[in-house]
Amino acid sequence: MDKSFLDELRQGVRAVCGDFPDAYWRELDEKRAYPEDFVNALTAAGFLGALIPEEYGGSGLGITESSVILEEINRSGGNAGACHAQMYTMGTLLRHGSEQQKQRYLRKIADGSLRLQAFGVTEPNTGTDTTQLKTTAVRKGDKYIVNGQKVFISRTEYSDLMLLLVRTTPLDQVKKRTEGLSVLLVDLREAVGNGLTIKPIRTMMNHATTELFIEDLEVPVENLIGEEGKGFSYILDGMNAERILIAAECIGDGRWFIERAVGYANQRVVFKRPIGENQGIQFPISRAHVNLEAADLMRFRAAELFDAGQKCGAEANMAKLLAADASWEAANVTLQTHGGYGFAEEYDVERKFRETRLYQVAPISTNLILSYVAEHVLGLPRSY
């Protein structure tokens, strides 16, 4: 890993983020608005095309570099959740799409003129038990007719394209439940109002997540990604990348929290001395920092394995768990350090606190990571 290049990358992202201070994110949070200006600036500067190969107009970087980009966004006080998927959703298209599909879409995704930052997998009644999903696509001539429902699908209102996981062969007609699922590329600009209804879900943080109602939506057969029936394996191989990138966002949050906690502890004077002189204040901040550093090592380890093309499922999952726990610990400590002011909107701690809590649950619950480690790393019986 070329550290000086990573430093340059960090500075590049910081330069963009510098124009979007706390007040920008605070106001968006209040209005539950999408950070359109920020996403446009980041896109124009090319950072969201990091993973796209140079031959398709991207920068051809690895997960290590890409994770640093997302880390810096969260470290600046912002939230990469608004646009991180533009970076990696295209991975499914890149790995399994036809040359024609890649030529048609990747270049535009790289330059930002097309947004592919939504992936419809989760359904109201299936959650992580993905193979049980109920949305179906039935082939009729040169079209698929799609029916079903999805929930917690992020950014559909701010995306041009969406990948959609559907069942193309009914469960009772496949040998293994992981078979018979397919990935379709849905053009949201045409689909909305023509079989697709998007309903926003208001959540405890400013995250543009939605519910999708799909009724006789027509998707051209040419928009099938890869082979019919193999969709489940296509989404699985994108998950390690996502785990590592999200771990990096957690690290970014954690760094932001620690910086704020230290700053406040040094400056806040009570009983005629800075509160940071008390070990009761210092120790929790130090511990949060130590845990964050440890999580960061696992994140870089996982990224290194991923970029070398080696197996990294265990490391990617462990990095996500450690980083999510570390950022949450740092959030809690920072809130405690700030006392009442931590709850005041103008300090931004409560906002980041709400935001970083999400990583315990999404995109994968920490419980499921523990189940994964138990089964796949330790050889314990499958518990789910």
Partner 1 sequence: MNIIVVMKQTFDTEEKVSIQNGQIVEDGVEFIINPYDEYAIEEAIKLKEEFGGEVTVMTVGPSRAENALRTALAMGADKAVIVDDEELFGDEYTISKALAHVIKDRDYDIILTGNTSVDNGAGQVGPRLAEELGIAHVATITKLSIEGAVATLVRDVEGDTETVDVKLPLLVTAQQGLNEPRYPSLPGIMKAKKKPMERLSADDLELDPETIKAKTAIVEQYLPPKKEAGRVLSGELQDQVKELVQLLRNEAKVI
Which residue has tokens 């109201």? 124
The one among 50, 188, 275, 364 contacting partner 1 by CB under 8 A? 50
Q: Residue 55 interacts with partner 1 (CB under 8 A)?
A: no
Closest CA to 154 of 362, 372, 354, 5: 362
Q: How far is the CB of 54 from partner 1 (least distance, A)?
A: 8
Give the CA angle between residues 94, 242, 153 to the nearest 5°: 90
Q: Residue 272 interacts with partner 1 (CB under 8 A)?
A: no
In the chain, DSSP assigns E strands to 116-120, 136-140, 143-154, 161-167, 181-187, 196-201, 209-220, 224-225, 269-270, 273-274
Q: How far is the CB of 68 from partner 1 (least distance, A)?
A: 11
Count CA atoms closer than 13 A to 141's CA, side-chain side.
3
- The nearer residue to partner 1, 17 or 246, going by C-beta atoms, is 17
Alpha helices (H) in 18-81, listed in sequence order: 22-31, 36-44, 63-75
Q: Is 242 a catalytic residue?
A: yes
Q: How far is the CB of 8 from partner 1 (least distance, A)?
A: 6
**Residues whose CB falls within 8 Å of the CB of residue 43, separated by 6 or more in sequence, listed in order:** 83, 86, 111, 112
Question: Given the rule CB under 8 A, which of 30-38, 56-64, 129-137, 201-209 is the region that contacts partner 1?
Answer: 56-64
Q: Which residues pair with 210 in a beta bridge?
A: 153, 200
Chain CA centroid to CA 10, Å: 19
Q: Residue 6 interacts with partner 1 (CB under 8 A)?
A: no
Cβ atoms of 35 and 42 within 8 Å: the answer is no
- The nearer residue to partner 1, 57 or 127, going by C-beta atoms, is 57
Q: Residue 229 interacts with partner 1 (CB under 8 A)?
A: no
Catalytic residue of the set 71, 123, 242, 329? 242
What is the Cα–Cα distance from 69 to 75, expressed in whole angstroms?
10
Q: How far is the CB of 66 from partner 1 (least distance, A)?
A: 10
Dihedral class, residue 309 (left if φ above 0, else alpha if ψ from -120 to 50, else beta)? left
Q: Residue 225 interacts with partner 1 (CB under 8 A)?
A: no
Q: Is 227 helix (H, G, I), strand (E, B) or coil?
A: coil
Q: How far is the CB of 93 from partner 1 (least distance, A)?
A: 20
| 57 to 76: interface string for partner 1, x by CB under 8 A | --xxx-------x-------
| 8 to 47: interface string for partner 1, x by CB under 8 A | xx-xx--xx------------------------x--xxxx
Q: Residue 269 interacts with partner 1 (CB under 8 A)?
A: no
How many residues sit in the footprint of partner 1 (CB under 8 A)? 20
Binding residues for partner 1, rule: CB under 8 A, are 4-5, 7-9, 11-12, 15-16, 41, 44-47, 49-50, 59-61, 69
Which residues are known catalytic residues? 242
